[in-house]
Amino acid sequence: MENSESKLIDGYPYIAYHKQEIGEIEMIKKSGEFLRWMDERRTVRDFSDKPVPKQVIDHLILTASTAPSGAHKQPWTFCAVSDAVIKKQIREAAEKEEYESYNKRMPDEWLEALKPLGTDWHKPFLETAPWLIVAFKRNYEFGEDHKKINNYYVSESLGLACGFMLAAIHHAGLVTLTHTPSPMNFLSKVLQRPDNEKPFLLLPVGYPAEECFIPDIKRKALNEVAVYY
Ligand code: IYR
């Protein structure tokens, strides 16, 4: 079992990891290109109904699932919805909650902060987008005899996986938006998820509408987000 490519450490199997080293000049070029490409990603709220193949959604989910997670528990379930009836149920339930939020729950300061983004309680994209991907966090697993087995850093793990998914969606030439209807328990009901799963984030996925406008907002500069020591 022991060779230069694999061995046991403390009784657990390990494999050698090889990564192609990139020279500094090429590294500066590549990291800059990646930055400029990622900087082109934008949150979009106006979707086309043009279909997206299921195989693409499989790839997006598997890419998200490459994210690191607490104790490598991979504590996520991604529900991908293309069924028009279920999308309608989700839209109706989300708009009901959002109507309450925008009109009663959210304080003026919050509503003011959202004004430049043009959001309101209407969520037509929940029906227009060809796919809705709902990320559920798995707070624990069911072991033998229904015994609860803990997962760790579940929210952090989900944040990482969803970040990976946003990059994958952008890379596929598609768009999304990070939708967090609040409260979002209705998603557990509509999608009939088990008790150990709680909804984390809803991502409509598709093409932007032919006529699509996004807020003219800027990202912070390096000196506003980084401190070097
Ligand atoms: N969940 C609401 C409100 C909302 C809140 C924040 I913070 C945003 O950045 C955007 C929207 C909604 O989805 O409209």
Q: Which atom of ligand 1 is nearest to the CA of 180?
A: 1
DSSP strands (E only) in 16-93: 76-81
- SS3 category, 200: strand
- Ligand 1 pocket check: which of 98, 125, 180, 214 to mutate, most ligand atoms within 8 Å of Cβ? 180
pTM: 0.96
Q: Which atom of ligand 1 is nearest to the CA of 110?
A: 7
pLDDT at 3: 86
Which residue's CA is the closest to the ligand 1 atom numbered 8?
114
CB of 114 within 6 A of ligand 1: the answer is: yes
Residue 51 has pLDDT above 70, yes or no: yes
Query: Can you give the residue ranges of every domain in the chain?
Result: 42-225
Give me the residue label for tokens 């996986």: 161
CB of 180 within 6 A of ligand 1: the answer is: yes
- 193 in the Ramachandran plot: left (φ > 0), alpha (ψ -120 to 50) or beta? beta
Q: Using CA atoms, how far apart are residues 195 and 135, in angstroms rounded to an integer? A: 15
The CATH architecture of the domain made up of 42-225 is: 3-Layer(aba) Sandwich (3.40)
CA pseudo-torsion sign 220, 120, 167, 30: negative
Angle at 39 between CA 34 and CA 41, to 5 degrees: 110
pLDDT digit string, tens, across residues 178-194: 999 889 999 999 999 99
pLDDT digit string, tens, across residues 110-123: 999 999 999 999 99
Q: Using CA atoms, how far apart are residues 139 and 147, in angstroms rounded to an integer? A: 13
